[in-house]
Chains A and B, each alone.
Chain A
C-alpha cells in the first residue's frame, strides 16, 4: 500500500478505533497476560480493598502496609506509579476532612502522594483539606503546587496549553468587540448623521434619519445577519478612526480571519492528545500503571497493525510485566521481519538480555553483537556484551566491549556499573518501542489531523479572505467618502475625551478611544478582559480531565482581586486626570 493510501487508512482507523475504545467496548483478550501477572494484578485489587478497609477503620498502619504492597506490585510489573489509586485516595481524604477528621485526611493524602508523586490531585485535595481546617496559607501553597504539577502532566498539560490558545482567541475577539463598541459610541453619531446627510437635501430630517437607520441595519435581513451587521459597522466606522484605530481594526479583522486556522491546529493537537494510544505511551514513559492501560495498548496495536513500533511497544510491556516468553516471541518476529534494520537493534539487544537471563551466554553474545552491528551507537548493547563475555570468562573481549560502551556514553555506563547487580542480572534492556514512540505519535497526529481537517480543508481560509475583503471594502469606502467628504469630520485636530471620571475609570479604553489612540485603547481593554475570561474558560473550552476538582475559588478570587485592583488604579488615574 502506498503512503497516501496507508495514511488514509490510518486516518479512518484512528477515528473508528478511538471512538470504539472510548466507549470501552473492546475485548481485551489480545494482549495476553501470564497467570503470575494476572495474579499480581488481582493482588493489586485486593490490596486496594484492604486499604479502603483500613481507611474506614482509621487504621493508618494497615493502610500504609497495603499501600506499600501496592507499590511493590507496581514495581514487580516494571512500573512505579498508580495514578488511579492516588486519585481515589485523594478523594477519600477530602471525604474524611468533610466529616471533620482532618488528621486522617492528612495521612491519606500522604499516601496518595506516594502512589503517584507527580499527579496534581493529592495537592488539590490537600488544598481542600487545609481550607476546611482553616489553614488558608497552607491551602494556597498546596493549590499552587497542584497547578505546577498539572502543567507538567503530558495530557492534562497539553489540554491546558490548548486552553491557553482558546483563551487568547476569545481574548482577542471579545476585546475587538468591545473596541468596536467604543468606536460606535465615539463615532456612531457621526456615522448616523453622515448617512442621513447623504439623503437630507431631498428628504426632511425625520425621513433622512429613517434612511440612515435603514442603511445601518440592513445586514440584519441577511442570513447570520448579526455577524454581518458587526462586520459592516466595523467597515463603516473604520474611516472615522484615527490611524492607530484603523490599524487596530485591521489587526482585529485579520485575527478574526486567522481564528479558524488556529482552531484547526488546536483541534488536531487535542485530537492527538485524546487518542488512547497516546495516553498509553505517555503513561508507560512515566511508569504509570493505570486501569485501562491494556485497552489503550490494544487500540494502538489495532490502529497501527503494520507498525513495528506499536508491536515493539507491546513487547516492551510484556518484558516490563516479566512476561519474557511473550516478549521474546514478538522481538524474534520483529527481527525476522526486518533483518539488519537499525530499528531492530533494541529488539536484538532485548533478545540478548533474555538469553543472558536464561544463562545462555553464547546466544546472548550473538544477539548483542547483532544489535551492535545494526546500531553501533547503542551503549547498552556494548555494556551487555561485556557482561555476557564476563560470564563466559572472555575477559579481554569483555574489557574491550566495556571500553567501547564507555566511549559512547561514559556517564550512563558508570551508573550501570554502580547499580547493584544491574538490571535483570547486570544486563540492560532497551525500551525500543518507547524510544520510537514519537514515530507513533507523528503517525497518529498526521492521521488525526487529516481526518479533522478533511471537511474543512479549504473553507478555513475563507475567513481570512473575508478579512481581506473587509479591509479592501473599508479602504475603498474611505477613499470614496474622503473624496465626497466626511461632513462630521470637516474639522481636523486631536480628538478629545468625553465623560466623567467614572466612565473613564470603569470603561477600559474609553479615554483612549476618545483620544484616538487605538493601540492604547485595545491594551486597556485587553487587561481586564484577560482576567475576566479566566474563570469562564473552564466552561467554554476543553475540560482538563483531572480526577479531582481543583475548584475555581483560587483562580476566580485571584482574577476578581486583579480586576478590583486594576479598576481601582484606573479610577485613581482618572481622578488624577480630572483634577
Chain B
C-alpha cells in the first residue's frame, strides 16, 4: 500500500475521494496538489483533515471578498473601499476587514472554512488531472479555522453534488435501521491487521458500526452508543453500504428509505462513480483502487518520504513529466508544505497573513495605542504612589477633603496602635520598646507601622506615656501622644493607696 507521503497519480485512475480517504486513514500532514485542466488547487491537510485550499487562478482574497458579498456579510461598497485600501497600503484584506470592524474574526474563520469547502467541491467534480501529495511535518493554515474532516467533506459533497461528487452511493439515513450482510471476502481492519493485502478494509469505527448493525437498532442509536459524530457516522454507514456489508432493514417510519438494498446500490452507485464499485479491498474506505495509486507512483520519481526543505522539493516536482506547478509564474507562489514552520504560525505571504485586527500585537497601530495606554498607566501609578486618597479625590479643589480623609485613616491607625500598646502593657506591665515588639507579638501587622501613603511611624516610649510620630522625608509631620493614665485596668496609680490598703472594716 502506498504511503500518503509519496501519493501521486492521475484522476482518471484514482478518484479524488479515494485519495482523500487514504490521507484521512493515514492521518497525513502535507499538501495535496491537484492540477486540473483549468486550474491548480493546493489542499493543505493536517493529520488527515483539510485545513485550507488555495486556487492558483483565484487568489484567496478575491474568493473571500466574493464570498463575503454573496453572504451579505459585507456590502459591495465597503468591500470596494477596503480593496482600494488594500491595494494602496498593501495590508492584507482580512486584516483590514477586521480592523475596520467589518467582520469579526470568528465570522471570518467561518467564511474561510466555507471557502475551502466550496473550492473542494469544485475540485471533486474534476475528472481529469493529476494529483500529488507532498508530505511534511507541518502545514501553514489560518489559526483558528476548524478543519474539515474527510468524512464531512465527502458526505457533504455527496449531499450537495450527488453523483457528480464522485463519492458514489447516497447519503445514508441516521433514522434507518440496517442489518449485516455476509461479506464477500475477509474483513480486515486498518492498523490492526497491517496495512495491505486482500480483503475488505475497514477502519476501527466502521468495524464497530458493522458489529452493531443487528437489524433492530437504528443507526442513530448505534452512533450514540459509539459516541460517533454525525459525519463520522454517516461516512461509516456510507462505506459499509458501499462495501455491501450492510443493507437496509427498515426505513424510518413515515419516510421513504434513502438507502437502497445493496444489490440495487451496487448497480447504481458503482456505475455512478465508475471506480468506487471496484474499491472493496483497500483500507480507508475499502476501495480496491488504491493499489492502482501505487502503480504509477512506482514509475515516477517521488520526493523524499518526508518532505525535504521546501526549496529542494519544488524543483524536483516541477521537473516531472507531468509537472504539478507549485510555483508557476503567477503573482504568488502556490502554497507549500512548510516543514520549518509550526502549524500554528501564520503564513508569511502578504495575502495570507494571520487574520487579526490591525491593532494586534506587533502592528504599528497596536504600538501607538499601547503607548497612549502606557501614558495613562503611568498617570495611574503616579496617583497611587502619591497616596491612595489622591486617587479617590483627584481634583485640585478636593485637597481639603483629601487631607481630611488621610487624617481620618491615620486616626484609625493611631487607635489601633493605642490598643496594641495597651495590650502590650497588660502583658508586660510596661510599654513596648518599639513597634517591632508589637509586630512580633502579632498585636500589629507589619503594614500598621506606616500609613496609607507609605510614610513611616516612629514610636517614642516615655515613663508614663508614649509618642507616635509620622515621619515623611525625614521630617515629623504629625505627633500623637498616648498614656495609660485614666485607664483603670492599666493604670496602677489610678486608685489612691489609702482606699486600697486601708479599707473600712465592719464589725458586728
- Chain A positions near chain B (C-beta within 8 angstroms): 22-28, 35, 38-39, 41-42, 44-45, 48, 52, 84-85, 87-88, 91-92, 94-95, 128, 159, 166, 169-170, 173-174, 177, 180-182, 184-189, 191-193, 216-217, 223-224, 226-227, 229-230, 233, 259-260, 263-264, 267, 270-271, 274, 290-295, 452, 455-456, 459-460, 462-463, 466, 490-500, 503, 514-516, 538-549, 551-552, 577-579
Q: Is B397's CB under 8 angstroms from A459's CB?
A: yes
Inter-chain contact B420/A547, CB cutoff 8 Å: yes
Query: Which chain B residues in 424-452 approach chain A with CB under 8 Å?
Result: 424, 426-427, 439, 441-445, 447-448, 452
> Which residue of A186, A227, A462, A492 is within 8 Å of B394 (Cβ)?
A227
Distance of A491 Cα from B78 Cα, bound (Å): 7
A42 near B420 (CB under 8 angstroms)?
Answer: no
Q: How far is the CB of A404 from chain B (nearest CB, A)?
A: 41
Question: Does more than half of chain B's interface fall in helix, strand or loop, or is it mixed?
Answer: helix
Q: Which residues of B contact A577 (CB under 8 A)?
A: 106
Given contacts A85-B489, A88-B427, A491-B101, contact A541 B499 (CB under 8 A): no
Give A514 to B99 CA distance when docked, in angstroms.
Answer: 9
Bound CA span A495–B102, Å:
7
With A128-B442, A498-B98 in contact, is A456–B495 under 8 Å at CB? no
Inside 8 A of B426's CB, which chain A residues have their CB?
A: 48, 84-85, 87-88
Would you mind naming 7 contact pairs between A and B with Cβ atoms under 8 Å apart? A38-B500, A41-B489, A291-B422, A455-B400, A460-B401, A495-B104, A496-B97
- Contacts A48-B489, A224-B395, A259-B393; A452 near B404 (Cβ below 8 A): yes
Q: Which 7 A-B pairs have the closest CB atoms?
A: A188-B369, A498-B357, A291-B489, A291-B487, A496-B98, A188-B372, A189-B365
User: By the criterion CB–CB under 8 Å, are B486 and A295 in contact?
Assistant: yes
- B362-399 toward A: CB 8 Å interface, digit per residue (1/0)? 00111011111101110110110000100111111110
Known: A184-B372, A233-B372. A290 touches B489 (CB 8 A): yes
Residues in B whose Cβ lies below 8 Å from that of A88:
423, 426-427
Which residues of A are found within 8 Å of B106, using beta-carbon distances? 577
Does A551 lie within 8 Å of B445, measured CB to CB?
Answer: yes
A159 and B379 contacting across the interface, CB-CB below 8 Å = no
The 8 Å CB contact of A466, one of B358, B395, B482, is B395
A91 & B486 in contact (Cβ 8 Å cutoff): no
Whole-angstrom CA separation of A414 from B140 in the bound complex = 88
Q: Which among A229, A260, A552 has the greatest number of chain B C-beta atoms within 10 A?
A: A260
- Is B1 among interface residues, defined by CB-CB distance under 8 A? no
B residues near A186, Cβ cutoff 8 Å: 359, 369
Contact status A543-B413, CB under 8 Å: yes
Pair A491/B102 contact, Cβ less than 8 Å: yes
Contact A184 B405 (CB under 8 A): no
CA distance A77 to B495 in the complex (A): 16
Q: Across the interface, which residues of A come within 8 angstroms of B424, CB to CB?
A: 91
Say yes or no: is B58 at the interface (Cβ < 8 Å to chain A).
Answer: no
Residue from the list B104, B414, B485 in contact with A496, Cβ < 8 A: B104
Contact B396 A224, beta carbon cutoff 8 Å: yes
B397 to chain A, nearest CB (A): 5
Binding site for A on B (CB under 8 A): 74, 78, 81-82, 97-106, 108, 143-144, 146, 356-361, 364-366, 368-373, 375-377, 379-380, 382-383, 388, 391-398, 400-401, 404-405, 408-409, 411-416, 418-420, 422-424, 426-427, 439, 441-445, 447-448, 452, 480-483, 485-492, 494-496, 499-500, 503-504
Whether A462 touches B395, Cβ cut-off 8 Å, given contacts A540-B452, A578-B143, is: yes
In the complex, which residues of chain A have a beta carbon less than 8 angstroms from the beta carbon of B494?
Answer: 28, 41
Are the C-beta atoms of B356 and A499 separated by less than 8 Å?
yes
Q: Least Cβ distance of B140 to chain A in Å?
A: 16
Known: A24-B485, A491-B78, A514-B357. 12 other contacts (CB 8 A): A28-B486, A28-B494, A91-B442, A166-B392, A185-B372, A264-B401, A271-B408, A294-B488, A496-B98, A540-B388, A543-B415, A577-B106
> From residue A397, how far is it (CB to closest CB) to chain B in Å?
37
Expressed in whole angstroms, the Cα–Cα distance for A296 and B289 within the complex equals 102
With A259-B393, A463-B398, A498-B360 in contact, do A94 and B442 touch (Cβ < 8 Å)? yes
Q: Which residues of B contact A274 (CB under 8 A)?
A: 408, 411-412, 415
Residues in A with CB closer than 8 Å to B427 are: 52, 88, 91-92, 95
Q: Report if A23-B504 is in contact (Cβ < 8 Å); known contacts: A182-B373, A496-B357, A543-B409.
A: no
CB distance from B265 to the nearest CB of A (A): 38
Bound state CA distance, A227 and B508, in angstroms? 83
CB pair B392–A170 under 8 Å, yes or no, is yes
Name the A residues within 8 Å of B74 (CB-CB): 493
**Known contacts A224-B394, A259-B393, A292-B486: does B415 contact A545 (CB below 8 Å)?**
yes
Q: Is the CB of B361 within 8 A of A500?
A: yes
Closest chain-A Cβ to B343's Cβ sits at a distance in Å of: 12
A538, closest chain B residue (CB) = B447
CB contact under 8 A between A493 and B78, given known A41-B488, A48-B489: yes
Chain B minimum-CB-distance residue to A39:
B503
Q: Which residue of A lies closest to B365 (CB)?
A: A189
Q: Are A94 and B373 in contact (CB under 8 A)?
A: no
* Nearest CB of chain A from residue B465's CB, rounded to whole Å: 8
Residue numbers in B under 8 Å from A516 (CB-CB): 101
Are A549 and B444 within 8 A (Cβ)? yes
Asked if A263 and B361 make an inter-chain contact with CB atoms under 8 angstroms apart, the answer reads no
| Residues on B with beta carbons closer than 8 Å to the beta carbon of A551 | 442, 445
Q: Are A216 and B408 in contact (CB under 8 A)?
A: no
Least CB distance from B178 to A in Å reads: 34
Report B367 CB to chain A, min CB distance, Å. 8
With a CB–CB cut-off of 8 A, which chain B residues contact A456? 398, 400-401, 404
- Minimum C-beta distance from A171 to chain B (A): 11
Do the beta carbons of A494 and B485 come within 8 Å of each other? Answer: no
The CA of A192 and the CA of B371, in the complex, are separated in Å by 11
Given contacts A226-B379, A491-B100, contact A38 B495 (CB under 8 A): yes
A226 neighbours in B (Cβ, 8 Å): 379, 382-383
Inter-chain contact A267/B404, CB cutoff 8 Å: yes
Nearest-Cβ distance from residue A112 to partner chain B, whole angstroms: 11
Contact A544 B401 (CB under 8 A): no
Contacts of A538 in B (CB 8 A): 445, 447
Task: Decide yes or no: A189 and B391 within 8 Å by CB, A28-B486, A493-B103 being known contacts.
Answer: no
Q: Which residues of A sit under 8 angstroms from B97, Cβ to Cβ?
A: 496
Instruction: Report chain A residues within 8 Å CB of B78.
Output: 491-493
Q: Which B residues are CB-close (under 8 A) to A224?
A: 394-396
Q: How close is B361's CB to chain A, nearest CB, in angstroms?
A: 6
B370 touches A185 (CB 8 A): yes
User: Are A579 and B401 in contact (CB-based, < 8 A)?
Assistant: no
Q: Are B405 and A267 in contact (CB under 8 A)?
A: yes
Residues of A within 8 A of B143 (CB): 578
Do B398 and A260 touch across chains, with their CB atoms under 8 A apart?
yes
Chain A nearest CB, measured from B214 CB (Å): 37
B488 touches A549 (CB 8 A): no
Q: How distant is the Cα of A544 from the Cα of B409 in the complex, in angstroms?
A: 10
Report B-chain residues with C-beta under 8 Å of the C-beta of A173: 391-392
How close is B419's CB to chain A, nearest CB, in angstroms? 5
Residue among A44, A259, A294 making CB contact with B392, cutoff 8 Å: A259
Chain B nearest CB from A71 CB (Å) reads 14
Q: How far is the CA of A216 from the CA of B369 in the complex (A)?
A: 12
Contacts of A291 in B (CB 8 A): 422, 487-491
| Structural contact, A546 and B416, CB atoms closer than 8 A | yes
Q: Point out the residues of chain B lying under 8 angstroms from A491, CB to CB.
A: 78, 81-82, 100-102
CA distance A420 to B380 in the complex (A): 66
Give the complex CA separation of A130 and B458 in angstroms: 33
Cα distance A551–B448 in the bound complex, in angstroms: 11
